[in-house]
Amino acid sequence: MYILNRQQRHVVNYSWMLVSLLLVACLPFLLFSVLYFKSFLLLRNFGLGDLIFSHSWHPSKGEFGFYPFIVGSIWVTLLAILISTPICLLTAINVTQYAKKRFLRIMHPVIDILAGLPSVVYGVWGLLVIVPFISRYLGPWLGIRTMGYSILAGAFVLSIMIIPFILNIIIEIFRTIPMELKEAALSLGSTKWQMVKHVLLRKALPGIIAAVGFGLARAFGETMAVLMVVGNVVKVPTSVFDPGYTLPALIANNYGEVLSIPRYDSALMFAALLLLVVSLFFNLLMHFFIARYNKY
Amino acid sequence: MKRSLKIEETVFRVLMILSTAFILLILGVIMYSVFEKGMKAISWEMLTSIPSGGYYYGKGGGILNAITGSMALAFGATILAFVIGLPVALYINVFLHGKKKLVNFIRFILDLIWGIPSIVYGAFGFTLMVLIGLQTSLLAGIVTVTLFILPIMIRSMDEILRTVPTGLMEAAYSLGSNKSELAFKIFTRQSVSGIITAVLLSFGRAIGDAASVLFTAGYTDNLPNSLMEPVATLPLSIFFQLASPVPEVQARAYASALVLTVIILIVSLFSRGLGKRYHKTKINF
């Protein structure tokens, strides 16, 4: 029935597993070294500080200042986190502490679908709903002239995209809080809200911070949806209604021209390297944060 | 004191209900706007033909190239990721059973990889392609997307495999099975439902991601017919059609977005249904 005997099959399976594992484990180092190797050309010529803090972006003249993109990315990401964190936190408290069990069963598919929608679909939705909303209603209402394609539009679409991600983690964290703690608080005469405020939130705080951190890392690297609504103008934004440009959008928009301008490919790979480092750094930080906290 | 407490609780209750309603509403609005705009523009011709000359100026044709291209890419990547991912997940749970520190370290590495943005994979794949001298092609797209969905696949399988009871493992050992038999015959069978869910989840990610295929898979008006030629993908076709100034072409972008959304919804429905169905083959303790 089999070509190989049991022992041989075991060896084949075992080596297959080991090779796969090594491949996966080497992946982050491989990614880092390839991107570093490609951006080395740029780093050698300009130095890290110059690249990050220089304002002028003129690839054809050989000037590569990433400052506008970095600032754009940070604005969009932070704004998105500011919008989604309170919504996630309040919903998680509602769903796990107040609402009926049945309601959680409705919420789960909703979160799954939101998490599963491709970023291009979010982008289309942003173009159809958010951009016109900002240019026609929100902008005029606040007395600001805006095209709609703005940091705010990017941040809003992004915040919706990371809601399912953060919400899922926070719900999981609330589940791990021991029932006894909550019951103890209630039996001492605290109201439900006091219990939530002083026991649940305090106990879950490190987890909540970690969830937000993971969300931040995810938001920082999101490409297509933001690219479609953020405006893509190379300028340091001065208000949330200004158009901006993010690092991922920079890579996605310009890959086609890289081979015609010298050092351009190196510049885009440097942008990718920045994204990789930021993502790895935040994830590492949050993991150690959780690990440290879990000891107590 | 008592009253201010009451007011505070009421205020926060209202805020909670509002934010929950907000999430439900947003999903509703997204679905409504995609379906409403998409249904107007979608037609049978669009689903069954490739772009003809002048398609991007509003003439006839369809997005069959993108639909089949996305399918080929997502199937290829999912199969490749399964072939690499299942052994890794099994190895962690069978061969490294009991070595807690090492297993946690591997899970930690996987979580790190999961967090890397897909555009970085795209840039990485592009660099590799240039180094090897490969053109934008289906193959390059499959490899890049595989790297991108691998951590998702492995970690979701891992979450299921780690729930296999130790008793089952010991029973298999006591009957004389070796570790790889235990892995492929017992663990895999016990976790079929979870594995299917993991595969479908990865498939959904693979078909929806645009940033990683932007550089590597390229774009073409033809149907995919070779691993070495570029393929069109649905997310990119949406993106390119939206960039057109012609209203008809933009309307087609909405229709394409509808197609992609429906595919994603079907995949997630399937994963729920199949997951429940294969639950029966599981041995319960």
Orientation angle between helical segments B64-90 and B234-242, nearest 10 degrees? 140
Closest among A29, A20, A5, A28 to B95, alpha carbons compared: A20
How many Å apart are CA B153 and CA B201, to the nearest integer? 8
pLDDT at B86: 93
A vs B: CB pairs below 8 A: 237
Residue B198 one-letter amino acid: A
Which residues in chain A have their CB less than 8 angstroms from residue B150's CB? Answer: 24, 27
Which residues in chain B have their CB less than 8 angstroms from residue A160's CB? Answer: 26, 30
Residues A194-246: tens digit of each pLDDT: 899 888 998 888 889 989 999 999 999 888 899 989 888 888 888 888 888 99
Angle at B87 between CA B83 and CA B88, to 5 degrees: 110
Instruction: Lowest mean pLDDT of A29-43, A185-199, A259-273, B26-40, name the range.
Output: A259-273
List the beta strands (DSSP E) in chain A.
Answer: 57-58, 63-64
List, in order of start, the domains of chain A with CATH numbers: 53-294 (1.10.3720.10)
Which residues in chain A have their CB less than 8 angstroms from residue B19's CB? Answer: 86-88, 90-91, 94
Bridge partner list, A231: A244
Q: Give A73→chain B minimum CA distance, Å.
A: 13
H helices of chain B, in order, are 2-41, 44-48, 64-90, 100-115, 118-132, 138-161, 166-174, 179-181, 188-190, 192-208, 213-216, 234-242, 247-277
Q: Give B264→chain A minimum CA distance, Å.
A: 7
Cβ separation of B126 and A93 shorter than 8 Å? no
CATH of domain B55-281: 1.10.3720.10
Q: Give A103→chain B minimum CA distance, Å.
A: 11
pLDDT-based confidence at residue B281 (cuts at 50, 70, 90):
low
Cβ separation of A121 and B257 shorter than 8 Å? yes
What value of ipTM does the predicted structure carry? 0.90
Domains in chain B: boundaries: 2-41, 55-281
Orientation angle between helical segments A6-46 and B100-115, nearest 10 degrees? 50
Record the tokens describing residue B200, joined without a space: 């479908």
How many Å apart are CA A256 and CA B227, to the nearest integer? 21
How many Å apart are CA A289 and CA A283, to the nearest integer? 10
How many Å apart are CA B152 and CA A55, to the nearest integer? 37
Residues B65-123: tens digit of each pLDDT: 889 999 999 999 999 999 999 999 999 998 888 888 899 889 988 988 998 999 999 99
Residues A83-141: tens digit of each pLDDT: 999 999 999 999 998 888 888 888 888 998 999 999 999 999 999 999 989 888 888 88
pLDDT at A83: 94
Coil, strand, or helix at residue B118? helix
Cβ separation of A124 and B214 shorter than 8 Å? no
Coil, strand, or helix at residue B174? helix
In this complex, the residue of A120, A163, A223 whose CB is nearest that of residue B119 is: A223
Over range B175-202, report the average pLDDT.
88
Q: Give A7→chain B minimum CA distance, Å.
A: 9
Residues A39-79: tens digit of each pLDDT: 888 888 777 777 788 777 877 777 788 888 999 999 999 99
How many Å apart are CA A211 and CA A289, to the nearest integer? 11
pLDDT at B282: 58
In this complex, the residue of A24, A35, A91 whose CB is nearest that of residue B123 is: A35
